[in-house]
Amino acid sequence: MQTATENERKYDVPDGFALPDLTGAGGAGGLGEAETHELDATYFDTEDLRLARNKRTLRRRTGGTDAGWHLKTPGDGSARTEHRLPFTEGDEVPAELVAEVRTIVRTRPLRPVARLRTRRVETPLCDSDGGTLALVAQDEVTAETDDGEQRWQELEVELVDGHPEVLEAVEGLLRAAGATPAAGPSKLARALGDRLAAPKAGKKINPVVAYARAQREAIEAQDPAVRAGDAEGVHKMRVATRRLRSTLKTFKGSFDPERAEFVKGELKWLAQCLGAVRDGQVLSQKLVAAAEGFPEVATRVREKLEADVAQGRRALTEALDSDRYLALLDAIDDMVDEPGPGDRDARRRAAKVLARADRLLDEATADGVDAELHEARKKFKQARYAVEVFSPGAGKPGKKLVGALTSLQDVLGAHQDSVVARDVLREVARTAPDAFPYGILFARQEQVGERTLADLPAATRAARKKKLRAWLG
């Protein structure tokens, strides 16, 4: 499957609109020879238009220079990413494209929802050497949906080899000639009209529910990257699952208890699948670097962790392809889109979790037990996520408290990493012909753990400053 980034702007134009002279716009030398294309596109979506509502368009198109299947997804800024596959007959959407939107459509069938026929006059905007800076497309559109037929004219300017400043310069000339920025985001949105109208604004969403919805969106957004094997995507999806699970644990009164209990259990399952990949990736980087000077040890450790990651990735792919995963996404939707009556004591609950983390840490440092430090770290992670819910409304103190809790969590995390690293070295050493170098590296990891704990008092004091916590109540 091919992918490309589109950077374009759309305009509404009146009948009889004439393209103005664009010479000089963004360094343009003039317009090239125009070509006319007859485009015929069938758009696919679910019955409730889940793709369109999530800013995706899926079509099969003939005519022009890129006939075939096209899936457009949001990119950076005004740009969009287009996934392309060759043309095929029939209304069965290629499996590769279905996989890209599976978290959105779930088990709902994709069917034709609109047919757009476009007579396009495409004119290249060229530089002084004849290179194409942008393509200017004047479209006469006929749209057919279940609600009838519409006709209109519009104009698109798509960047090719030019700098984004070209779009700015062209826009000024087009608007002076009578063009206006398009009222809708796409031809499909205009064709669907009221079916795609935004729901009426309801009552204000409380911060807990808003935070939970943001994690839901993050899980869905990272799905394609995780399927592609992107390490950062795995990390971000895992963090989102942890944040959402922690939110359900802390703010029990904000959600239906039966739904929340089911979702918490399933999020734990998903997080474990993600962790089986992510933990090995991170640990491999750290341990292999720490084993410098012991190439044989580094090789054996790398092989062991790479095997663990490969096994974890197979299990993760199987999980993401399962009906269980789709059922989890549906359950999250039901829970966060139909929350409970709300919890007036939600902010106080965040403060209680933070106080509980403080007590666990005090007990752990007094006992000097690694397992207790790990439990304190997990509780601080829960506390940090709870604080994040309300920190945007707390201004600078809220932001600083989140930062201080993150730093404290990082210290405890570095210590736990040294504990896990020792476990891996112990395991690999059991089958090694010479255990001596593993013993040296084991001792070094013990020293790493001790050094990280030396940073703990300062990090603890910073996170307990009263002026940072006062807003929690």
pLDDT for res 16: 87
Q: pLDDT below 50 — which residues of the chain?
A: none
What is the pTM (predicted TM-score) of this model? 0.82
What is the C-alpha to C-alpha distance for residues 415 and 447, in angstroms, rounded to an integer? 10
- The 10s digit of each residue's pLDDT in 355-382 is 999 999 999 999 999 999 999 999 999 9
pLDDT for res 203: 62
How much of the chain exceeds pLDDT 70, in percent? 98
pLDDT for res 251: 95
pLDDT for res 77: 62
pLDDT for res 187: 92
- The 10s digit of each residue's pLDDT in 61-103 is 999 888 999 999 887 666 788 999 999 988 999 999 998 899 9
